[in-house]
């Protein structure tokens, strides 16, 4: 039965696999394959987002299968499923217990990321500060810990501490994928401070990332920096490249489209600018950006409309 369930999983037939795992656990709950069946049943159920059932299945794993090799993985999956079910407080407790019990497990970095995301959603300053201090105490420091510490510091309004932490990440782990994310965060911070040359340099470094979302963010920021430095033609090319990039971030895609509109304006390409602004005003998920696009669109349309001809004066008798 266990082999049948695995075969169905390999054939990507989820429902019969789930049914077989359930039957095994019901009829032979003490069989040597039961721990693996419980874990892989839970993991399969995550694919259909049945997070509460996953959490319930794995809650009994430590007592039913003590010392099993999958115990740490089950502990992580239970914590993750609780957070995914919206039960952040329970999930964070489970994940922190997993991290404390198995500090060298390969899933610890992912567990920390889930904990930080949940804590950030909660937004409670005391909890954020405690998690920030815990991340800074990591020994040895990890790329994930330093990146998340920067995110929390930023959330707490400690901008300088966030920047210092991300610089430390880039210095210690220059080849880590999170180094590119840190470069993008630092580029955004420099842009807000009008340090456009520094921002451009960091954004170009972030643009080397293999992650589509980071690459997209970097391209948008490069384009915005080119605009600030009065290079609309270069900005236009970058924004077009950003729009063509496949990345699941509608907000950034519309930011690129808005930037393209500005570049067209700078180049006095009014019709192209109007088309870009129309798209942003119609569908951007950012209300502020939609309103801004509507204002720009009105100004560009005024340039497109030919001036009204003055009526000739009648000759005086």
User: Measured on CA atoms in the order 120, 121, 125, 126, is the torsion positive or negative?
Assistant: negative
Residues with Cβ < 8 Å from 245, sequence gap 6 or more? 212, 215, 216, 219
- Predicted local distance difference test score (pLDDT) of residue 177: 87
Task: Judge whether 9 and 40 are in contact, CB under 8 Å.
Answer: yes
Q: Is the pLDDT of residue 120 over 60?
A: yes
User: Measured on CA atoms in the order 39, 40, 46, 50, is the torsion positive or negative?
Assistant: negative
- Predicted local distance difference test score (pLDDT) of residue 293: 96
**Token couple for 137:** 């105490």
Q: What is the mean pLDDT of the chain?
A: 91
What's the mean pLDDT in 168-190? 94
Q: What is the DSSP letter of 201?
A: H
**Token couple for 80:** 């993750």
| DSSP secondary structure, 265-290, as one string | HHTT-HHHHHHHHHHHHHH-S-HHHH
Phi, psi values for residue 150, rounded to 5°: -65, -40
Task: Judge whether 264 and 280 are in contact, CB under 8 Å.
Answer: no
**Token couple for 288:** 């502020």
Task: Judge whether 113 and 100 are in contact, CB under 8 Å.
Answer: no
pLDDT in tens, 217-269: 999 999 999 999 999 999 999 999 999 988 778 899 999 999 999 999 999 99
Task: Judge whether 239 and 220 are in contact, CB under 8 Å.
Answer: yes
Of the two residues 106 and 226, the one the predictor is more confident about is 226
- Predicted local distance difference test score (pLDDT) of residue 315: 60
What's the mean pLDDT in 19-48? 95
Task: Judge whether 303 and 275 are in contact, CB under 8 Å.
Answer: no
């Amino acid at each position: 039965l266990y082999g049948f369930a695995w075969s169905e999983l390999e054939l990507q037939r989820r429902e019969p696999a789930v049914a077989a795992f359930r039957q095994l656990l019901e009829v032979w709950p003490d069989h040597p394959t039961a721990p693996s069946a419980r874990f892989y049943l839970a993991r399969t159920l995550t694919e259909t987002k049945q997070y509460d059932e996953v959490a319930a299945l794995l809650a009994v794993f430590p007592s039913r299968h003590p010392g099993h090799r999958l115990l740490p993985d089950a502990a992580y999956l239970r914590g993750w499923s609780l957070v995914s079910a919206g039960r952040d407080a329970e999930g964070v407790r489970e994940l922190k217990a997993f991290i404390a019990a198995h500090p060298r497990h390969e899933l610890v970095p992912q567990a920390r990321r889930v904990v930080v995301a949940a804590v950030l959603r909660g937004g409670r300053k005391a909890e954020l500060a405690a998690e920030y201090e815990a991340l800074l105490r990591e020994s040895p420091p990890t790329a994930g810990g330093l990146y998340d510490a920067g995110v929390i510091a930023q959330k707490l309004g400690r901008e300088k501490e966030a920047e210092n932490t991300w610089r430390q990440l880039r210095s210690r782990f220059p080849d880590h994928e999170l180094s590119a994310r840190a470069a993008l965060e630092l580029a955004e911070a420099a842009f807000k401070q009008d340090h456009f040359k520094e921002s451009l340099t960091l954004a170009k470094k972030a643009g080397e990332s293999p992650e589509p979302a980071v690459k997209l963010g970097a391209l948008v920021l490069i384009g915005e920096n080119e605009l600030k430095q009065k290079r609309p033609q270069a900005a236009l090319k970058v924004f077009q490249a950003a729009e063509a990039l496949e990345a699941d971030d509608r907000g950034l895609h519309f930011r690129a489209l808005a930037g393209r509109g500005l570049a067209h304006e700078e180049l006095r390409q009014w019709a192209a600018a109007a088309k870009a602004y129309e798209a942003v005003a119609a569908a951007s998920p950012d209300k502020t950006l939609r309103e801004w696009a509507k204002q720009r669109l009105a100004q560009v349309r005024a340039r497109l409309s030919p001036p009204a001809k003055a009526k000739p004066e009648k000759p005086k008798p």
